[in-house]
Structure 1
Amino acid sequence: MPHSNTDSNQIKEVFPYLRTRDAAAAIKFYQRAFGAVEDFRLTEPGGRIGHAELKFGSATIMVSDEYPEYGIYAPTASTPTGSAIHLHVQDVDAMTQEAVQAGASLIMEPADQFYGERAAKIRDPFGHEWLLGSHIEDVTHEEMQRRFDAMFEEDSPEH
């Protein structure tokens, strides 16, 4: 049965939540690489960060240290994250360079993409993937699908 959005159960906001092995270092990295601004932090007496909120432009991303006792784990090299965060930025080339200089690993160099963005992909030192993109052209959904289909035709064994 489809879910109905009544006033009492309507989604108001969505917040990505990153789990890391060193939240304090991750926060510093996100500040250097992306210009994130820390809004709020809860820190245990021993230093473990239970919760932090960072502003990435108008969006909020939450960060915490691992809490294995509650089943909260960060990505590892053998178990990478199954998600990525996409940041729309003014200048993807400059943001990519800043992120790499701050310690990110470059996964995909900035390049023009079929969907109307110049895009790059990086992995932060804490195992999270970030897609960085700058708008370069307006592309209708129909044109985007045509270009997407053409990519697979070019890659097919018959071509």
Structure 2
Amino acid sequence: MTQAEIQATTEGIDILTPHIVVRDAGKAAEWYKEVLGAEERGRVPVPGGKFMQIELWFGNSAVMLADEFSDMGILSPLSIGGTPVVLHLTTKKVEALWQRAIDAGAVILQPLQEQFWGDLHGQILDPFGYRWNLAQHLRDVPSEEIARIAASIFGGQA
């Protein structure tokens, strides 16, 4: 399949939309709305008080939440001991967002600080087991400079 053949099929939903599994999707949706500023646009409840899907929007990007269904092998990071997934959220007011997240129980994994690629950036772990990069773009940095610095940090030379 070529890039030209990859097209969104649902109005308003991006071509690639994360679906994340959490323990207590209703509670998680409220946390993401109150703390990270998400807007809820729909829910699909199922028996037992769980949700097959909760559609959240962060600006122009959708993230779908689902509850754990362990009997079907659908597990959250809290059940499998973590996740390699990192969600990246860019904002114009990262310091305020950062403080709200910490005050609401997020754990700091990487402190909020200016990075060599030009962002004020840090990483948190939310109460539901997901890593979030929170960032604000401060300045443009030439890609050659980013590559040179990254190579020196990761043990090589560009």
The interval holding the TM-score normalised by the smaller chain is 0.7 to 0.9
TM-score normalised over the length of structure 2: 0.87
Gap regions ≥5 residues in structure 2: 9-14
Corresponding residue for 1:135? 137
When structure 1 is superposed on structure 2, of 143-152 and 44-53 the one drifting more is 143-152
Q: How many residues align?
A: 150
Secondary structure of the 1:76 match is helix
CA 1:75/1:34 → structure 2, altered by over 3 Å: closer, same or farther?
A: same
Gap change, CA 1:78 and 1:17, over 3 Å in 2: closer
Q: Does 2:109 align with 1:107?
A: yes
Classify the secondary structure of the residue corresponding to 2:141: coil
1:109-135 alpha-carbon deviations (Å, 9 max, x no partner)? 210101110101101101000000110
- Give the 5 Å matches for 1:8-157: 10-12=6-8, 13-76=15-78, 79-152=81-154
Q: What amino acid sits opposite 2:147 in the alignment?
A: Q
- Alpha-carbon contact 1:32-1:102 (below 8 Å) kept: no
Q: What is the Cα deviation at residue 51 of structure 1?
A: 0.6
1:42 Cα deviation from its structure 2 partner: 0.8
Identical residues among aligned pairs (%)? 34
Amino acid at match of 2:69: Y
Q: TM-score, normalised by structure 1?
A: 0.87
Structure 1 segments (4+ residues) deviating >2 Å: 3-7, 149-153
Native 8 Å contact 2:23 2:78 kept in 1: no
Is residue 90–residue 136 contact of structure 2 (8 Å, CA) maintained in 1? yes
C-alpha deviation, 1:4, in angstroms: 2.5
Provide the aligned C-alpha RMSD in A.
Answer: 1.8
Secondary structure of 1:72's counterpart equals coil
Provide Cα deviations, 1:38-92, integer angstroms capped at 9, x if missing partner.
Answer: 1000112321111110011111000010112222100027621111000011122
CA, structure 1 residues 105+143, in 2 after alignment: closer, same or farther (shift >3 Å)? same
Rate the CA distance shift 1:82–1:11 in 2: closer, same or farther, 3 A.
farther
Shift of the alpha carbon at 1:146?
1.4
Shift of 1:150: 3.4
Which deviations, in whole Å up to 9, do the C-alpha atoms of 1:16-42 show, x marking residues without a partner?
111011101100110111111110001
